[in-house]
């Protein structure tokens, strides 16, 4: 489907704009294909707030497919469809819109950090989300973009909702996009989806057909990221001497090994969701039942917070570029170093996004994000002479550039690693090897894409540039932000 060049921008729908019978109150967010507004029904404002999603492009057929899918799914962890239609702007063509119930809460990872969640709370949230997948799969649908940014959890954890079915599909739906992979977010792709790209014959126009097991795997990635602070380890992809590329899957370390506070029942279920062979993964229905059983069997240790309030989880987070998925929140090529203040977080995002952009492009883009001390999910050996890279969506399989140490000394503009840890920096023995290294008593993350001289916000040590692992402190409830 070819979309027109003209794209709707948020400022085109100021407060008070009527979209059908719905009156816009404020812009709430959006992604590549849809903008979400906080709205009410004109003349019946007391009925409550709704989420009004308007297509960025006129005539976008994804919206009709989302309407069909939402109309087939009835579950408390899936937003209720209230209305749909077309909005005619003063000039140009009509834009499809969808109206859904307004869901209060935080995105999954933000909720876990805000609430200092326990294993028991995570088990209950995952159980609700598994139920949403049961209902979706029973209706013949596949969500195809299960990720932290598409999940909302109420502050008390009592309700978790799987949002944004714009990338979803259902049995019999006509394909709307071309390419090896359907819409989705690369950090959450299943091994079979990535392997399909490697095995796909050159010149083929076929697209990978997502299955319910892909949704279960993606939920497993969410859970792993939630309880450990990390995405999955890298894949190794190597060219065979003859024939297609080969993918080696070693699997992730058990969550309870990464974080001893993870309840054994939760750790085991997460590993089952992340099983390499799709046939060995539980169905959404089996998963929901197992999660319910785990809640009953979990001991008192499952009620302790996953991360002590004064022991942070610092990580360099990365995600693949936006590639046609509806929604947002996780689809940008950026590295984010967690900070104890919003202002500092924005500064780190801006600097690190620029610094690591080259690394994201040069690292292999089979899809799982870069992690400190790791190569990306999909690290690839250099192709044989004359062999072209294998395409994967908007990126390709390429060899990462080696990080050669420069021991010639500090350049005039470098900032050396200080002799003592920074005030808000984590310190030994609380570093997380191999992701972090200990230098002068502080925890540091190497940034291979940045070379000396290391300018602010980076620091130089033995010919490489580093950023500090910062302490995650719980935000005071009195903070007006």
Q: If the chain, 481 residues long, is cut into consecutive pieces of 10 residues, what is the mean pLDDT of each piece?
A: 61 88 91 88 92 92 94 97 93 92 94 93 98 98 96 94 94 85 91 86 86 97 95 71 64 93 97 95 98 93 84 34 31 26 36 35 31 32 31 27 33 77 83 79 82 85 86 44 33
Which pLDDT score, from 0 to 100, does residue 337 have?
Answer: 23
Distance CA 107, CA 270 (A): 20
Kindly report the backbone phi and psi dihedral angles of residue 170, in degrees, each rounded to the nearest multiple of 5, phi listed first: -150, 165
**Does this model's pTM top 0.75?**
no
| 8 Å CB contact between 171 and 108 | no
As beta bridge partners, residue 460 has 416, 465
- Residue 26 phi/psi, 5-degree rounding, is -165, 155
CB distance 31 to 165 below 8 Å? no
Distance separating alpha carbons of residues 79 and 234, to the nearest angstrom: 34
How many beta carbons lie within 10 A of that of residue 39, not counting itself?
A: 29
- Please give the Cα distance from 446 to 460 (Å, whole number): 9
Please give the angle made by the CA atoms of 114, 117 and 121, to the nearest 5 degrees.
Answer: 130
Q: Select from 279, 272, 130, 287 the least CA-distant residue to 192.
A: 279
Q: Which of 449, 150, 126, 409 has the alpha carbon at shortest distance from 290?
A: 126
Cα three-residue angle 273-111-66, rounded to 5 degrees? 65
Rg (CA), the chain: 23
Chain Cα centroid distance, residue 454? 29
Residue with tokens 């990580």: 315
**Domains, in order of start, for the chain:** 10-101 (3.30.200.20), 106-312 (1.10.510.10), 402-476 (no CATH)
Distance of alpha carbon 238 from alpha carbon 473, whole angstroms: 42
How many whole angstroms separate alpha carbon 102 and alpha carbon 145?
20
CA 385 to chain centre: 35
């Amino acid at each position: 489907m070819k979309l027109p060049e003209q794209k709707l921008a948020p400022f085109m729908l100021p407060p008070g704009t009527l979209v059908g019978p719905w009156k816009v109150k404020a812009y709430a967010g959006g992604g590549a294909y849809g903008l979400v507004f906080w709205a009410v029904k004109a003349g019946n404002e007391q009925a409550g707030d709704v989420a009004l999603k308007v297509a960025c492009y006129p005539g976008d057929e994804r919206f009709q497919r989302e309407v069909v899918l939402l109309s087939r799914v009835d579950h408390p962890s899936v937003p209720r469809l209230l209305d749909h239609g077309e909005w005619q702007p003063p000039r140009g063509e009509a834009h499809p819109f969808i109206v859904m119930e307004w869901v209060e809460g935080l995105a999954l990872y933000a909720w876990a950090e805000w609430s200092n969640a326990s294993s028991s709370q995570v088990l209950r949230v995952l159980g609700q989300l598994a139920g949403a997948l049961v209902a979706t799969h029973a209706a013949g649908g596949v969500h195809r973009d299960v990720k932290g940014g598409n999940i909302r959890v109420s502050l008390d954890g009592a309700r978790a909702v799987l949002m944004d079915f714009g990338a979803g599909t259902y049995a019999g739906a006509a394909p709307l996009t071309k390419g090896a992979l359907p819409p989705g977010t690369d950090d959450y792709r299943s091994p079979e989806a990535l392997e399909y790209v490697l095995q796909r014959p050159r010149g083929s126009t076929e697209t990978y057909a997502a299955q319910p097991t892909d949704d279960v795997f993606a939920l497993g990635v969410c859970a792993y990221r939630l309880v450990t602070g990390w995405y999955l380890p890298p894949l190794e992809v190597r060219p065979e001497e003859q024939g297609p590329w080969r993918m080696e899957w070693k699997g992730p370390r058990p969550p309870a090994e990464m974080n001893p506070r993870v309840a054994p029942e939760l750790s085991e279920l997460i590993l089952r969701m992340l099983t390499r062979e799709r046939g060995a993964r539980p169905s959404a229905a089996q998963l929901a039942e197992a999660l319910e059983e785990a809640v009953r069997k979990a001991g008192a240790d499952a009620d302790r917070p996953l991360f002590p309030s004064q022991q942070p989880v610092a990580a360099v987070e990365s995600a693949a570029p936006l590639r046609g998925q509806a929604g947002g929140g996780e689809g940008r090529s950026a590295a984010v170093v967690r900070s104890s203040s919003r202002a500092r977080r924005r500064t780190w995002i801006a600097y690190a996004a620029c610094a690591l952009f080259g690394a994201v492009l040069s690292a292999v883009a089979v899809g799982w994000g870069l992690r400190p001390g790791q190569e990306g999910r999909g690290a690839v050996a250099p192709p044989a002479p004359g062999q072209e890279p294998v395409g994967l969506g908007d990126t390709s399989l390429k060899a990462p550039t080696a990080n050669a140490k420069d021991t010639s000394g500090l350049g005039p503009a470098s900032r050396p690693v200080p002799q003592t840890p920074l005030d808000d920096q984590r310190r030994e023995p609380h570093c997380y090897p191999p992701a972090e290294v200990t230098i002068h008593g502080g925890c540091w993350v190497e940034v291979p894409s940045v070379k000396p001289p290391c300018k602010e916000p980076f620091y130089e040590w033995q010919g490489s540039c580093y950023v500090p692992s910062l302490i995650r402190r719980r935000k005071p409830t009195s903070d007006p932000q």
